[in-house]
Amino acid sequence: MAEHHPGGYRRHRRQPIGKRDPDERTGDFEEVWAEKWDEQQLAEQGERCMDCGTPTCMGGCPIGNIIPDWNDLVHRSDWKEALERLHATNNFPEFTGYNCPAPCENSCVLAYNDDPVTIKSIERAIADKGWEEGWIEPEPPEQRTDYEVAVVGSGPAGLAAAQQLNRAGHHVTVFERNDEVGGLMRYGIPDQKFAKHRVQRRVDQLREEGIAFETNAEVGGNVPVERLEDDFDASVIAVGSQKPIDLDLPGRDLEGTHFAMDYLTQQNRRNVGKDVSGPDIDAEGKNVVVLGGGDTGADCVATAHRQGAEQVVQIELLPKPPVERPPGNPWPEQPQTYKKTYAQEEGAVEEYNVDTNAFVDTDGDGRVDTLEADRVIWEEGGEGPPEKKVSESNLEIPADLVILAIGFEAPESTPFDPLGAEINDDGTFETDEAMMTNVDGVFAAGDAKMGPSLIVWAIGSGRDVARHVDQYLTGESDLPPSLETSNEPLVSM
Ligand SMILES: Cc1cc2nc3c(=O)[nH]c(=O)nc-3n(C[C@H](O)[C@H](O)[C@H](O)COP(=O)(O)OP(=O)(O)OC[C@H]3O[C@@H](n4cnc5c(N)ncnc54)[C@H](O)[C@@H]3O)c2cc1C
């Protein structure tokens, strides 16, 4: 385990890897993150880790990353060993090092009354260094089994499952309905948050390890779903949870109101010179309203800025969270507090407690130009949840482009209906403790099993399902489970 460096947190203030200046970065779709980081700076940040007896950071990490170890290894400049330790629990540490909201940092013991260790920056730096140095290479299995496994969906869950199963020696084919592999990390998450070459080099690694990818291949569409049972010994449904939540309001069908994913995907495609499907959605010169105060909404705000929007307003129905932890939300719980997003740093108007009533076309040209809404307050009343009361009615907000980013309902499960897989009330795939659906040999993982979540959970779920599939096929497995998503007690490997 890690060497103890008492007092590093007293010697060094928290200093994560920075971002580019907002004025500069809104002029392009390049990553917002500073490209370069300083090894000495990261070594000092690693030294801030207190190597606590109970590393609560690890408890906060859904995949149980062995954080104190790699903090210490970075402090001692043993980057290669740090990378190995990181890969032991996480197939794709740059996916999380760039994108994770870092629940580990909220659970860091230092966060009790000080600034937490910059765990996310350290993770990113280890992965960056691994690629730069050429330490991340294909690791094909030494021996192959005769088993064929299908993975449906190529997001972080599908890719993690595929890599683990392939490393266990099985023949893995990944089916992806899009023209490119990567799930929401390819089409969804904007390039300014995560550059696509980082996804592609992992795909290349997986391909070189022997995984077959079939793109433009929709299982239940142009690939008959029966193939899962006819051609494969086991299959993993990792199709995500991308059915968007809609708003049934007057004017919803006006031109100029769109779902977030349609909007974001178009820009991902434009950035690499690809055609976009459907009407062109572009914020240039427009008054943009983004409905939804979450991270998807933030990505839409940031995209609208880069497209040259006149004004961007981000609307949230709920109140603005407090800056300090509210009573009943103590450390190490995840804080229910306000966090300024990278998009808001770039200057959008944030409106809380606003309840949309209608999308309106005042000049009769068939396009939305105004959003009608009420300002509300939330009254705590007795036992039940807070009640919404109108405090100011008939707000009118200029809106030439409205983006709906109010969340996702469930996986698109209908293509799998012919299999007879059971679906839970919330629309996710029902599975047993071994992550298998009621259809023998058909498993589910990632957002398709959990509902909309995070990349880190998807990776953990992909690792877990791989272990279960391996066990199903061979009766045993040397693949490690992840810490939190596992349905079994953790066994040390
Ligand atoms: C805009 C946006 C921003 C986000 N930002 C972050 C972030 O910063 N950090 C973070 O941790 N999480 C973020 N998330 C959440 C994160 O992206 C997801 O939790 C994660 O990608 C889920 O992984 P998955 O593998 O389960 O599914 P997905 O990534 O959704 O991948 C599923 C794949 O399955 C494919 N598919 C679906 N049906 C079929 C079929 N029938 N046949 C073949 N292929 C099919 C889809 O095309 C897709 O490629 C964000 C989500 C969105 C929408």
Q: Does 295 contact ligand 1 (Cβ within 6 A)? A: yes
Pick from 31, 32, 239 the residue to mutate for probing ligand 1's pocket: most ligand atoms within 8 Å of its CB.
239
Of the candidate ranges 31-35, 159-163, 377-381, the one whose mean pLDDT is the lowest: 377-381
Per-residue b/e over 50-86, b at no fewer than 16 CB within 10 Å?
bbeeebbbbebbbbbbbbbbbbbbbbbeebeebbebb
- The 3-state DSSP class for residue 362 equals coil
Q: Which pLDDT does position 4 carry in this prediction?
A: 53
Q: Which pLDDT does position 35 carry in this prediction?
A: 85
Pick from 175, 189, 261, 459 the residue to mutate for probing ligand 1's pocket: most ligand atoms within 8 Å of its CB.
189
Q: Which pLDDT does position 3 carry in this prediction?
A: 53
- What is the domain-level CATH number for residue 356? 3.50.50.60
- Strand spans (E) along 61-178: 148-152, 171-175
Residue 140 placed within a domain: no
User: What are the pLDDT digits (tens) for 304-313?
Assistant: 999 999 999 9
* Orientation angle between helical segments 156-167 and 196-208, nearest 10 degrees: 20
Residue 488 placed within a domain: no
User: What are the pLDDT digits (tens) for 198-234?
Assistant: 999 999 999 999 999 999 999 999 999 999 999 999 9
Residue 193 placed within a domain: yes
Number of compact structural domains in the chain: 3
Q: Which pLDDT does position 5 carry in this prediction?
A: 60
Q: Which atom of ligand 1 is nearest to the CA of 188?
A: 1
Distances (CA, A) of 164 to 16, 99, 339, 468: 31, 22, 35, 11
Same-domain pairing of 300 and 370: yes
What is the average pLDDT score of the chain?
Answer: 94
Residue 36 placed within a domain: yes
Q: What percent of the chain shows pLDDT beyond 70?
A: 97
Residue 312 placed within a domain: yes
Pick from 218, 450, 455 the residue to mutate for probing ligand 1's pocket: most ligand atoms within 8 Å of its CB.
455
Same-domain pairing of 414 and 397: no
- The 3-state DSSP class for residue 459 equals helix
Task: Give, for 234, the enclosing helix (H) or strand (E).
Answer: strand 234-237
Same-domain pairing of 172 and 63: no
- Strand spans (E) along 329-423: 349-351, 354-360, 370-379, 387-398, 401-404, 408-410
Give the sign of the dihedral formed by CA 430, CA 431, CA 435, CA 436.
negative
Q: Which token pair is 142? A: 């030494």
- The 3-state DSSP class for residue 20 equals coil
Same-domain pairing of 153 and 187: yes
Residue 164 placed within a domain: yes
Smallest CA-to-CA distance from 366 within 251, 205, 211 is with: 251
**Residue 278 — very low, low, confident or very high, per pLDDT cuts 50/70/90?**
confident
Residue 448 placed within a domain: yes
Residue nearest to atom 5 of ligand 1 (CA): 189
**Residue 486 — very low, low, confident or very high, per pLDDT cuts 50/70/90?**
very low
- What is the domain-level CATH number for residue 108? 1.10.1060.10
Distances (CA, A) of 72 to 78, 93, 109: 9, 17, 16
Q: Which pLDDT does position 385 carry in this prediction?
A: 87
User: What are the pLDDT digits (tens) for 110-135?
Assistant: 999 999 999 999 999 999 999 999 99
Q: Does 455 contact ligand 1 (Cβ within 6 A)? A: yes
User: What are the pLDDT digits (tens) for 429-476?
Assistant: 999 999 999 999 999 999 999 999 999 999 999 999 999 999 999 999
> Which of 404, 421, 443 marks a domain boundary?
404
Same-domain pairing of 276 and 398: yes
Of the candidate ranges 268-282, 372-386, 421-435, 465-479, the one whose mean pLDDT is the lowest: 372-386
CA dist., res. 355 & res. 65, Å (int): 40
Q: Does 214 contact ligand 1 (Cβ within 6 A)? A: no
Domain range for 365 is 272-404
Residue nearest to atom 1 of ligand 1 (CA): 296
> Which of 389, 404, 419 marks a domain boundary?
404
Same-domain pairing of 116 and 175: no
Q: Give yes or no for a contact between 405 and 297, defined as CB atoms under 8 angstroms apart.
A: yes
Q: Does 447 contact ligand 1 (Cβ within 6 A)? A: yes
Pick from 184, 237, 485 the residue to mutate for probing ligand 1's pocket: most ligand atoms within 8 Å of its CB.
184
User: What are the pLDDT digits (tens) for 102-115?
Assistant: 999 999 999 999 99
Same-domain pairing of 399 and 415: no
Same-domain pairing of 284 and 160: no
Q: Does 181 contact ligand 1 (Cβ within 6 A)? A: no
Phi, psi of 390 (to 5 degrees): -75, 130
Q: Does 152 contact ligand 1 (Cβ within 6 A)? A: yes
CA dist., res. 109 & res. 4, Å (int): 15
Same-domain pairing of 450 and 385: no
Same-domain pairing of 278 and 385: yes
> Which of 105, 132, 159 marks a domain boundary?
132
Q: Does 153 contact ligand 1 (Cβ within 6 A)? A: yes
